[in-house]
């Protein structure tokens, strides 16, 4: 290359320019990060390809001229959604379709074409217009301007194969969105390392899961040593110990029912930390329906784990009271302890904006605690539960499946409603479920599932009266 191609530039306070961020370096390092992120769900090669091609369109003289306007650089030239800028994202998408064909190339094309403006729709039939991927691919006509060095940086084709067999459009869309998350987060982070290295350095410093677990054990030991051996405290200790034991079992779906005052917050945290350490998981995500409950639980978590170790992400957050590192971690959930709302969590799973989607890949390899799960909106249960099931089956998350597609009606407005017949079927199924007979693990007696709440209430009463040494919680797997 006669002169180096540039990805980004930065002006110093005195008006001079920093050494430019070279395009080759940016593509290579973004590909490395994206590959690492995507490897968590067996898609490493896909992540690498997205990183290598996402800014291919910057390797054109017409785009480079934007960085050399008048007498200096134009530091905003890479933000194509601003009026008058030269686009660049669609060029990599077009090249990938040529290299890999319509199927694989187009899957990659969604992420590459949308890494600034957001995941595009395919067709403009639904009103997407010029932003539709189909339209963009049909109207890019200057691929030949891309320098040879960027047309195929690998000099070969990677063997791209989907990591699992897709059964529906939903599972493929989730996978594409996860790939998109890997790319945009990698792009953000590599660009940040050049534009604002101090900001990038501030992202580090959180404790490991093992360190957080030790903090919890130290806190709980001190708490237990200073507490009286009252029936309620004995009960809380037993619940916590049961949760720790459950955390050592194989990954799966767990449900914990604890009476008010039984120490559910600490016990669930004990389970999550144990489970994360045993299975080498990277983080714990608490998903809570109300901000009032979030603030209450987050206060407990900070008291146990440390003020600077808990990252809250919700609309009521007072950012002035948060550390810079916590605010940065909220952007992509790159921290071992996240506390967020149901709205934030589930809307992110169906989002298209880069800033919202960049955290999705960090859900993989996490313990997700759904607090007050019964408060999930019934009208949106199908997409929520189907997506969570996909996360369980393909991305190693913990949750449960409840309903089928036929149980929901899709409205023209985009809403999804549970049908009247389905409501009756759900109630009927629950009534049948309550009649199933199991053996109670403590009482060692056979009883219908519907009688379990009554039996647990009786056991709680006996514990409080001192008739039994402690309350035996009932844990369903």
Q: What are the structural domain ranges in the chain? A: 6-201, 209-371
Residue 310's φ and ψ, nearest 5 degrees, are -110, 120
**Nearest partner of 233 among 246, 241, 458, judged by Cα:** 241
DSSP 8-class letter at 316: T
CATH class of 209-371: alpha beta
Q: How far apart are CA 298 and CA 330, in angstroms?
A: 14
| Sign of the four-CA dihedral 107, 113, 116, 122 | negative
- Looking at the DSSP bridge assignments, the partners of residue 338 are 285, 311
Q: How far apart are CA 260 and CA 380, in angstroms?
A: 28
What pLDDT was estimated at residue 401? 36
CB atoms within 10 A of CB 460: 19
DSSP 8-class letter at 17: B
DSSP 8-class letter at 11: B
Q: How far apart are CA 438 and CA 147, in angstroms?
A: 69
| Pairing relationship of beta strands 21-22 and 255-256 according to DSSP bridges | unpaired
DSSP 8-class letter at 87: P
Helices 264-278 & 291-305 angle (0-180, nearest 10): 60
Strand, helix or coil for residue 192: helix
Domains 6-201 and 209-371 share a fold: no
Q: How far apart are CA 123 and CA 133, in angstroms?
A: 7
Contact 97, 105 (CB under 8 A): yes
Number of residues that make up the chain: 477
Helices 169-195 & 44-53 angle (0-180, nearest 10): 50
Q: How far apart are CA 438 and CA 461, in angstroms?
A: 22
Largest alpha-carbon pair distance within the chain?
87
- Torsion of the alpha carbons at 359, 285, 176 and 329, rounded to the nearest 10: 10
Contact 340, 363 (CB under 8 A): no
What pLDDT was estimated at residue 71? 32
Q: How far apart are CA 65 and CA 293, in angstroms?
A: 53
What pLDDT was estimated at residue 249? 85
- Looking at the DSSP bridge assignments, the partners of residue 438 are 447
pTM confidence score: 0.78
6-201: which CATH architecture? Answer: Orthogonal Bundle (1.10)
Contact 297, 312 (CB under 8 A): no
CB atoms within 10 A of CB 316: 11
Q: Which residues contact 353 (CB under 8 A, 6 or more apart)?
A: 118
Contact 112, 49 (CB under 8 A): no
Q: Which residues contact 32 (CB under 8 A, 6 or more apart)?
A: 48, 51, 186
Burial profile 274-296: b = 16 or more Cβ within 10 angstroms, e = fewer: bbbbeeebbbbbbbbbebebbbe
Q: How far apart are CA 282 and CA 366, in angstroms?
A: 6
Q: How far apart are CA 380 and CA 414, in angstroms?
A: 11
Q: Six-digit token pair at 382?
A: 């199908």
Q: How far apart are CA 52 and CA 87, in angstroms?
A: 17
Extract the residue ranges of the chain whose pLDDT is less than 50.
1, 70-71, 75, 77-79, 81-82, 397-403
168, 271, 272, 295, 304 from 278: Cα distances, Å = 33, 10, 10, 28, 20
């Amino acid at each position: 290359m006669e002169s180096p191609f540039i990805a980004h530039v930065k002006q110093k306070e005195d008006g001079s320019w920093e050494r430019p961020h070279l395009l080759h370096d940016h593509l290579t390092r973004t590909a490395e990060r994206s590959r690492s992120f995507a490897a968590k769900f067996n898609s490493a090669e896909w992540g690498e390809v997205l990183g290598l091609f996402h800014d291919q369109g910057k390797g054109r003289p017409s785009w480079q001229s934007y960085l050399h306007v008048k007498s200096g650089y134009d530091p905003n030239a890479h933000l194509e959604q601003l009026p008058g800028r030269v686009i660049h994202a669609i060029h990599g998408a077009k090249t990938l379709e040529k290299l890999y064909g319509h199927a694989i190339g187009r899957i990659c094309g969604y992420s590459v074409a949308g890494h600034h403006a957001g995941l595009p729709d395919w067709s403009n039939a639904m009103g997407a217009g010029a932003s539709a991927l189909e339209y963009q691919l049909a109207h890019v006509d200057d691929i030949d301007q891309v320098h040879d060095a960027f047309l195929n940086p690998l000099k070969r084709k990677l063997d791209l194969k989907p990591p699992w067999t897709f059964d529906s459009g939903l599972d493929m869309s989730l996978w594409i969105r996860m790939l998109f998350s890997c790319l945009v987060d990698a792009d953000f982070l590599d660009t940040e390392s050049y534009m604002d290295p101090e900001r990038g350095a501030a992202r580090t410093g959180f404790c490991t899961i093992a360190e957080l677990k030790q903090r919890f054990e130290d806190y709980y030991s001190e708490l237990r040593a200073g507490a009286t051996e009252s029936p309620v405290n004995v009960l809380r200790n037993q619940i916590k110990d049961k949760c720790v034991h459950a955390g050592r079992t194989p990954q799966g779906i767990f449900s914990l029912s604890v009476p008010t005052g039984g120490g559910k917050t600490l016990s669930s945290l004990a389970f999550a930390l144990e489970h994360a350490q045993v299975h080498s998981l990277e983080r714990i995500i608490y998903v809570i329906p109300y901000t009032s409950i979030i603030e209450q639980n987050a206060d407990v978590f900070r008291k146990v784990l440390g003020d600077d170790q808990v990252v809250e992400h919700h609309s009521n957050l007072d950012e002035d009271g948060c550390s810079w590192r916590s605010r940065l971690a909220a952007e992509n959930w790159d921290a071992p302890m996240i506390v967020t709302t149901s709205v934030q969590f589930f809307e992110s799973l169906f989002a298209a904006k880069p800033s919202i989607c960049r955290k999705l890949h960090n859900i993989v390899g996490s313990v997700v605690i759904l607090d007050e799960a019964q408060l999930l909106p019934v009208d949106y249960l199908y997409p929520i539960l189907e997506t969570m099931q996909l996360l369980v089956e393909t991305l190693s998350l913990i949750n449960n499946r409840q309903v089928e597609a036929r149980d929901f009606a899709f409205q023209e407005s985009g809403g999804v409603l549970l049908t009247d017949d389905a409501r009756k079927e759900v109630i009927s199924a629950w009534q049948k479920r309550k009649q199933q007979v199991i053996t109670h693990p403590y009482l060692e007696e056979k009883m219908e599932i519907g009688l379990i709440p009554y039996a647990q209430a009786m056991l709680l009463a006996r514990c409080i009266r001192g008739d039994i040494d402690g309350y035996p919680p009932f844990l369903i797997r």
